[in-house]
Homo-oligomer: A and B are copies of this chain.
Protein backbone atom coordinates (compact mmCIF):
# COMPACT_ATOMS: atom_id res chain seq x y z
CA UNK A 1 0.00 0.00 0.00
CA UNK A 2 1.21 3.46 -0.81
CA UNK A 3 0.30 6.47 1.26
CA UNK A 4 -2.49 7.56 -1.09
CA UNK A 5 -5.94 6.14 -0.38
CA UNK A 6 -8.10 5.26 -3.39
CA UNK A 7 -10.66 8.02 -4.01
CA UNK A 8 -12.76 6.59 -6.85
CA UNK A 9 -15.75 4.29 -6.59
CA UNK A 10 -17.64 2.27 -9.19
CA UNK A 11 -21.40 1.97 -9.61
CA UNK A 12 -22.93 -0.91 -11.56
CA UNK A 13 -26.42 -0.91 -13.03
CA UNK A 14 -27.48 -4.46 -13.83
CA UNK A 15 -30.59 -4.68 -15.98
CA UNK A 16 -32.39 -7.60 -17.60
CA UNK A 17 -30.89 -6.71 -20.99
CA UNK A 18 -27.67 -4.81 -20.36
CA UNK A 19 -25.31 -3.71 -17.64
CA UNK A 20 -23.47 -0.41 -17.12
CA UNK A 21 -20.44 0.24 -14.93
CA UNK A 22 -19.37 3.82 -14.16
CA UNK A 23 -16.23 5.01 -12.39
CA UNK A 24 -17.18 8.02 -10.27
CA UNK A 25 -14.88 10.55 -8.63
CA UNK A 26 -15.41 12.25 -5.28
CA UNK A 27 -17.41 15.05 -6.95
CA UNK A 28 -19.90 12.62 -8.51
CA UNK A 29 -18.39 13.02 -11.97
CA UNK A 30 -18.18 9.94 -14.19
CA UNK A 31 -14.55 9.35 -15.22
CA UNK A 32 -15.15 6.25 -17.32
CA UNK A 33 -17.94 3.92 -18.23
CA UNK A 34 -18.52 0.59 -19.91
CA UNK A 35 -21.56 -1.32 -21.11
CA UNK A 36 -22.18 -4.99 -21.87
CA UNK A 37 -25.17 -7.24 -22.54
CA UNK A 38 -26.25 -8.90 -19.31
CA UNK A 39 -26.19 -12.35 -20.90
CA UNK A 40 -23.70 -13.71 -23.48
CA UNK A 41 -25.19 -14.17 -26.97
CA UNK A 42 -24.08 -17.79 -26.88
CA UNK A 43 -25.97 -18.56 -23.68
CA UNK A 44 -29.30 -16.83 -23.13
CA UNK A 45 -29.82 -19.15 -20.14
CA UNK A 46 -26.57 -18.21 -18.36
CA UNK A 47 -26.49 -18.67 -14.60
CA UNK A 48 -25.88 -15.82 -12.12
CA UNK A 49 -22.15 -16.60 -11.76
CA UNK A 50 -21.72 -15.99 -15.51
CA UNK A 51 -23.55 -12.66 -15.14
CA UNK A 52 -21.35 -11.76 -12.16
CA UNK A 53 -18.20 -12.56 -14.12
CA UNK A 54 -19.45 -10.24 -16.90
CA UNK A 55 -20.11 -7.53 -14.31
CA UNK A 56 -16.52 -7.88 -13.06
CA UNK A 57 -15.19 -7.54 -16.60
CA UNK A 58 -17.39 -4.50 -17.21
CA UNK A 59 -16.00 -2.88 -14.06
CA UNK A 60 -12.42 -3.55 -15.20
CA UNK A 61 -13.21 -2.06 -18.63
CA UNK A 62 -14.70 1.08 -17.07
CA UNK A 63 -11.70 1.47 -14.74
CA UNK A 64 -9.41 1.04 -17.72
CA UNK A 65 -11.31 3.66 -19.73
CA UNK A 66 -10.95 6.08 -16.81
CA UNK A 67 -7.17 5.60 -17.03
CA UNK A 68 -7.11 4.01 -13.58
CA UNK A 69 -6.36 0.64 -12.02
CA UNK A 70 -8.32 -1.34 -9.46
CA UNK A 71 -5.92 0.04 -6.83
CA UNK A 72 -7.62 3.43 -7.37
CA UNK A 73 -11.06 2.00 -6.51
CA UNK A 74 -12.21 2.26 -2.89
CA UNK A 75 -15.44 0.29 -3.31
CA UNK A 76 -18.23 -0.74 -5.61
CA UNK A 77 -22.00 -0.37 -5.38
CA UNK A 78 -23.96 -2.75 -7.58
CA UNK A 79 -27.67 -2.83 -8.34
CA UNK A 80 -29.94 -5.75 -9.06
CA UNK A 81 -33.47 -5.61 -10.49
CA UNK A 82 -35.07 -7.61 -7.71
CA UNK A 83 -35.20 -7.96 -3.93
CA UNK A 84 -31.78 -7.70 -2.26
CA UNK A 85 -30.60 -8.55 1.24
CA UNK A 86 -28.38 -5.52 1.61
CA UNK A 87 -26.61 -6.80 4.73
CA UNK A 88 -25.43 -9.94 2.89
CA UNK A 89 -25.11 -8.62 -0.66
CA UNK A 90 -27.58 -11.35 -1.59
CA UNK A 91 -29.91 -11.01 -4.60
CA UNK A 92 -32.96 -13.19 -4.07
CA UNK A 93 -33.94 -13.37 -7.71
CA UNK A 94 -33.94 -11.47 -10.99
CA UNK A 95 -37.17 -12.04 -12.85
CA UNK A 96 -35.73 -10.81 -16.14
CA UNK A 97 -32.72 -13.16 -16.12
CA UNK A 98 -34.01 -16.69 -16.67
CA UNK A 99 -31.60 -18.68 -14.48
CA UNK A 100 -31.49 -16.18 -11.64
CA UNK A 101 -34.47 -17.87 -10.03
CA UNK A 102 -32.92 -18.40 -6.62
CA UNK A 103 -30.64 -16.41 -4.35
CA UNK A 104 -27.08 -15.53 -5.35
CA UNK A 105 -24.55 -13.77 -3.14
CA UNK A 106 -23.58 -11.16 -5.71
CA UNK A 107 -21.69 -8.88 -3.29
CA UNK A 108 -19.26 -11.49 -1.93
CA UNK A 109 -18.73 -13.05 -5.39
CA UNK A 110 -17.96 -9.72 -7.08
CA UNK A 111 -15.76 -8.70 -4.16
CA UNK A 112 -13.78 -11.93 -4.58
CA UNK A 113 -13.36 -11.28 -8.33
CA UNK A 114 -12.33 -7.63 -7.94
CA UNK A 115 -10.53 -7.45 -4.61
CA UNK A 116 -12.53 -4.46 -3.30
CA UNK A 117 -15.62 -4.24 -1.09
CA UNK A 118 -18.86 -4.58 -3.07
CA UNK A 119 -22.22 -3.41 -1.72
CA UNK A 120 -25.49 -4.40 -3.40
CA UNK A 121 -28.93 -2.84 -3.38
CA UNK A 122 -32.11 -2.83 -5.44
CA UNK A 123 -31.93 -0.85 -8.70
CA UNK A 124 -34.89 1.42 -8.01
CA UNK A 125 -33.53 2.22 -4.55
CA UNK A 126 -30.14 3.11 -6.04
CA UNK A 127 -31.76 5.18 -8.80
CA UNK A 128 -33.53 7.16 -6.10
CA UNK A 129 -30.30 7.49 -4.09
CA UNK A 130 -28.55 8.77 -7.23
CA UNK A 131 -31.27 11.35 -7.87
CA UNK A 132 -31.23 12.41 -4.19
CA UNK A 133 -27.46 12.92 -4.27
CA UNK A 134 -26.65 14.28 -7.71
CA UNK A 135 -29.94 14.66 -9.58
CA UNK A 136 -33.46 16.07 -9.37
CA UNK A 137 -33.60 15.85 -5.55
CA UNK A 138 -29.99 16.84 -4.96
CA UNK A 139 -29.26 17.39 -1.29
CA UNK A 140 -32.69 16.28 -0.06
CA UNK A 141 -32.97 13.46 2.46
CA UNK A 142 -36.70 12.76 2.22
CA UNK A 143 -37.34 11.46 -1.27
CA UNK A 144 -39.51 8.86 -2.95
CA UNK A 145 -38.47 7.90 -6.46
CA UNK A 146 -41.24 6.43 -8.61
CA UNK A 147 -39.99 4.74 -11.76
CA UNK A 148 -42.63 4.00 -14.38
CA UNK A 149 -41.86 1.29 -16.92
CA UNK A 150 -43.37 -2.08 -17.71
CA UNK A 151 -44.35 -1.95 -14.05
CA UNK A 152 -43.93 0.73 -11.40
CA UNK A 153 -41.30 0.59 -8.65
CA UNK A 154 -40.31 2.98 -5.89
CA UNK A 155 -37.16 3.83 -3.99
CA UNK A 156 -37.79 5.21 -0.51
CA UNK A 157 -35.54 7.55 1.48
CA UNK A 158 -37.17 8.85 4.68
CA UNK A 159 -35.39 11.21 7.06
CA UNK A 160 -32.10 10.37 5.33
CA UNK A 161 -32.46 6.61 5.64
CA UNK A 162 -33.05 4.11 2.84
CA UNK A 163 -36.14 2.05 3.55
CA UNK A 164 -35.57 -1.59 2.59
CA UNK A 165 -38.29 -3.31 4.58
CA UNK A 166 -38.37 -6.09 7.15
CA UNK A 167 -38.12 -8.74 4.38
CA UNK A 168 -36.10 -6.48 2.03
CA UNK A 169 -39.33 -6.08 0.11
CA UNK A 170 -40.21 -2.38 0.34
CA UNK A 171 -40.87 -0.23 -2.73
CA UNK A 172 -43.34 -2.39 -4.65
CA UNK A 173 -45.50 0.66 -5.18
CA UNK A 174 -46.96 -0.71 -8.42
CA UNK A 175 -48.49 -3.51 -6.38
CA UNK A 176 -50.47 -1.23 -4.16
CA UNK A 177 -54.06 -2.16 -4.79
CA UNK A 178 -57.06 -0.47 -6.19
CA UNK A 179 -60.49 -1.93 -6.01
CA UNK A 180 -64.04 -1.23 -6.86
CA UNK A 181 -65.71 -4.38 -7.96
CA UNK A 182 -62.49 -5.95 -9.19
CA UNK A 183 -59.11 -5.69 -7.48
CA UNK A 184 -56.18 -4.51 -9.56
CA UNK A 185 -52.58 -3.52 -8.89
CA UNK A 186 -51.95 0.18 -9.50
CA UNK A 187 -49.56 -0.68 -12.31
CA UNK A 188 -52.45 -2.31 -14.14
CA UNK A 189 -53.75 1.25 -14.71
CA UNK A 190 -50.79 3.55 -14.53
CA UNK A 191 -47.63 2.01 -16.00
CA UNK A 192 -46.09 2.30 -19.43
CA UNK A 193 -46.97 -1.40 -19.69
CA UNK A 194 -50.64 -0.57 -19.10
CA UNK A 195 -50.58 2.20 -21.71
CA UNK A 196 -48.92 -0.12 -24.24
CA UNK A 197 -51.42 -2.91 -23.58
CA UNK A 198 -54.41 -0.61 -24.02
CA UNK A 199 -52.93 0.94 -27.18
CA UNK A 200 -52.31 -2.52 -28.60
CA UNK A 201 -55.92 -3.46 -27.87
CA UNK A 202 -57.11 -0.26 -29.55
CA UNK A 203 -55.01 -1.00 -32.64
CA UNK A 204 -56.31 -4.60 -32.73
CA UNK A 205 -59.87 -3.26 -32.68
CA UNK A 206 -59.05 -0.85 -35.49
CA UNK A 207 -59.59 2.16 -33.23
CA UNK A 208 -56.34 3.97 -33.94
CA UNK A 209 -54.87 4.07 -37.41
CA UNK A 210 -52.18 6.56 -36.38
CA UNK A 211 -50.60 4.10 -33.94
CA UNK A 212 -50.84 1.32 -36.55
CA UNK A 213 -49.09 3.61 -39.04
CA UNK A 214 -46.35 4.51 -36.57
CA UNK A 215 -45.67 0.84 -35.88
CA UNK A 216 -45.57 0.06 -39.60
CA UNK A 217 -43.18 2.95 -40.28
CA UNK A 218 -40.91 1.83 -37.42
CA UNK A 219 -41.01 -1.78 -38.63
CA UNK A 220 -41.36 -2.90 -35.02
CA UNK A 221 -44.62 -3.78 -33.33
CA UNK A 222 -43.50 -2.96 -29.78
CA UNK A 223 -45.31 0.01 -28.26
CA UNK A 224 -42.39 1.80 -26.64
CA UNK A 225 -42.31 5.18 -24.90
CA UNK A 226 -41.19 6.60 -28.25
CA UNK A 227 -44.30 5.26 -29.99
CA UNK A 228 -46.50 6.73 -27.26
CA UNK A 229 -44.73 10.08 -27.65
CA UNK A 230 -45.14 10.03 -31.45
CA UNK A 231 -48.82 9.08 -31.22
CA UNK A 232 -49.45 11.98 -28.82
CA UNK A 233 -47.50 14.36 -31.07
CA UNK A 234 -49.69 13.27 -33.99
CA UNK A 235 -52.79 14.15 -31.95
CA UNK A 236 -54.11 10.59 -31.66
CA UNK A 237 -57.20 10.93 -29.45
CA UNK A 238 -57.25 7.24 -28.49
CA UNK A 239 -53.69 7.49 -27.15
CA UNK A 240 -54.49 10.80 -25.45
CA UNK A 241 -57.35 9.20 -23.56
CA UNK A 242 -55.28 6.14 -22.54
CA UNK A 243 -52.41 8.35 -21.35
CA UNK A 244 -54.83 10.58 -19.42
CA UNK A 245 -56.04 7.51 -17.52
CA UNK A 246 -52.45 6.64 -16.57
CA UNK A 247 -51.81 10.24 -15.53
CA UNK A 248 -54.83 10.11 -13.26
CA UNK A 249 -53.62 6.83 -11.79
CA UNK A 250 -50.13 8.20 -11.15
CA UNK A 251 -51.49 11.43 -9.67
CA UNK A 252 -53.71 9.51 -7.24
CA UNK A 253 -50.84 7.14 -6.43
CA UNK A 254 -48.61 10.09 -5.54
CA UNK A 255 -51.37 11.66 -3.43
CA UNK A 256 -51.87 8.34 -1.61
CA UNK A 257 -48.17 8.09 -0.83
CA UNK A 258 -48.04 11.73 0.30
CA UNK A 259 -51.09 11.21 2.54
CA UNK A 260 -49.42 8.15 4.10
CA UNK A 261 -45.78 9.27 4.34
CA UNK A 262 -45.67 13.02 3.67
CA UNK A 263 -42.27 13.01 1.93
CA UNK A 264 -40.55 16.21 0.86
CA UNK A 265 -39.93 15.22 -2.74
CA UNK A 266 -41.28 12.79 -5.32
CA UNK A 267 -38.95 12.09 -8.25
CA UNK A 268 -40.68 10.61 -11.28
CA UNK A 269 -38.47 8.56 -13.58
CA UNK A 270 -38.48 5.80 -16.16
CA UNK A 271 -38.65 5.77 -19.95
CA UNK A 272 -42.19 7.12 -20.23
CA UNK A 273 -41.55 10.19 -18.06
CA UNK A 274 -38.18 10.84 -19.69
CA UNK A 275 -39.62 10.49 -23.18
CA UNK A 276 -42.73 12.62 -22.61
CA UNK A 277 -41.17 15.06 -20.15
CA UNK A 278 -42.95 17.81 -18.26
CA UNK A 279 -45.91 17.76 -20.65
CA UNK A 280 -46.67 14.30 -19.26
CA UNK A 281 -45.95 15.22 -15.65
CA UNK A 282 -47.99 18.45 -15.44
CA UNK A 283 -51.46 16.82 -15.18
CA UNK A 284 -50.03 14.12 -12.89
CA UNK A 285 -48.85 16.89 -10.56
CA UNK A 286 -52.21 18.71 -10.69
CA UNK A 287 -54.19 15.58 -9.83
CA UNK A 288 -51.77 14.73 -7.01
CA UNK A 289 -51.94 18.17 -5.37
CA UNK A 290 -55.72 18.21 -5.69
CA UNK A 291 -55.90 15.06 -3.55
CA UNK A 292 -53.43 15.92 -0.79
CA UNK A 293 -55.33 15.55 2.49
CA UNK A 294 -53.10 18.02 4.35
CA UNK A 295 -53.29 21.25 2.38
CA UNK A 296 -50.86 23.18 4.63
CA UNK A 297 -47.59 23.89 2.84
CA UNK A 298 -48.66 21.67 -0.05
CA UNK A 299 -46.59 23.85 -2.36
CA UNK A 300 -43.47 22.79 -0.47
CA UNK A 301 -43.86 19.22 -1.71
CA UNK A 302 -41.81 18.77 -4.88
CA UNK A 303 -42.95 16.49 -7.71
CA UNK A 304 -40.11 16.57 -10.23
CA UNK A 305 -38.84 14.56 -13.20
CA UNK A 306 -35.68 12.50 -12.76
CA UNK A 307 -32.58 14.26 -14.02
CA UNK A 308 -29.87 11.63 -14.37
CA UNK A 309 -31.40 9.46 -17.11
CA UNK A 310 -29.60 6.16 -17.69
CA UNK A 311 -26.83 7.05 -15.21
CA UNK A 312 -29.09 7.31 -12.14
CA UNK A 313 -28.69 3.73 -10.91
CA UNK A 314 -24.91 3.54 -11.46
CA UNK A 315 -24.47 6.91 -9.73
CA UNK A 316 -26.61 5.63 -6.87
CA UNK A 317 -24.33 2.60 -6.69
CA UNK A 318 -21.36 4.94 -6.41
CA UNK A 319 -23.08 6.82 -3.57
CA UNK A 320 -23.79 3.52 -1.82
CA UNK A 321 -20.14 2.49 -2.09
CA UNK A 322 -19.06 5.84 -0.68
CA UNK A 323 -21.62 5.79 2.17
CA UNK A 324 -20.90 2.24 3.19
CA UNK A 325 -17.23 1.94 2.46
CA UNK A 326 -15.80 5.43 2.61
CA UNK A 327 -13.45 6.43 -0.21
A260 at interface (Cβ–Cβ under 8 A)?
A: yes
Point out the residue from B164, B248, B261 that lies within 8 Å of A170, measured CB to CB.
Answer: B261
A256 at interface (Cβ–Cβ under 8 A)?
A: yes
| Distance from A168 Cβ to chain B, minimum over Cβ atoms (Å) | 7
| Distance from A292 Cβ to chain B, minimum over Cβ atoms (Å) | 8
Question: Known: A158-B158, A177-B256, A177-B291. Is A92-B172 also a contact (CB below 8 A)?
Answer: no
Point out the residue from B161, B181, B256, B262 that lies within 8 Å of A161, measured CB to CB.
Answer: B161
Among A154-172, those with CB < 8 Å from B are 154, 156, 158-159, 161, 163-172
Binds B, one of A49-57, A214-222, A294-302: A294-302
A180 at interface (Cβ–Cβ under 8 A)?
A: yes
Q: Which has the most chain B C-beta neighbours within 10 Å: A154, A171, A177, A180? A: A177
A263 at interface (Cβ–Cβ under 8 A)?
A: yes
**Interface 1/0s, chain A 175-206, versus B by CB < 8 A?**
11111111111000000000000000000000
A259 touches B173 (CB 8 A): yes
Question: Known: A158-B158, A291-B183, A296-B92. Is A261-B177 also a contact (CB below 8 A)?
Answer: no
| Distance from A325 Cβ to chain B, minimum over Cβ atoms (Å) | 21
Give the residues in chain B near A175, CB-CB below 8 Å. 256, 259, 293
Give the residues in chain B near A182, CB-CB below 8 Å. 180
> Which residue of B has the minimal Cβ distance to A287?
B183
Question: Known: A163-B159, A179-B180. Is A293-B169 also a contact (CB below 8 A)?
Answer: yes
Question: Known: A165-B262, A260-B171. Is A296-B179 also a contact (CB below 8 A)?
Answer: no
A252 touches B165 (CB 8 A): no
Give the residues in chain B near A173, CB-CB below 8 Å. 259-260
A166 touches B142 (CB 8 A): yes
Give the residues in chain B near A172, CB-CB below 8 Å. 259-260, 262, 293-294
Question: Known: A92-B296, A172-B259, A173-B260. Is A252-B179 also a contact (CB below 8 A)?
Answer: yes
Q: How far is the CA of A175 from the CA of B296 in the complex (A)?
A: 15
A176 touches B261 (CB 8 A): no
> Number of contact residues on A: which range applies?
35 or more
A260 touches B176 (CB 8 A): yes
Question: Known: A168-B262, A179-B180, A261-B165. Is A83-B296 also a contact (CB below 8 A)?
Answer: yes
Q: How far is the CA of A171 from the CA of B83 in the complex (A)?
A: 26
Could you tell me which A residues sit within 8 Å of B by CB distance?
Answer: 83, 92, 142, 154, 156, 158-159, 161, 163-173, 175-185, 248-249, 252, 255-264, 291, 293-294, 296-297, 300-301
Which 3 A-B residue pairings sit nearest by Cβ, starting from the closest? A165-B262, A180-B180, A169-B294
A–B pairs, 23, beta carbons within 8 Å = A142-B166, A165-B262, A165-B263, A166-B263, A167-B262, A167-B294, A169-B258, A169-B296, A171-B260, A172-B293, A173-B260, A175-B259, A176-B256, A177-B255, A177-B256, A178-B180, A179-B180, A179-B252, A180-B180, A180-B181, A183-B291, A257-B260, A260-B260
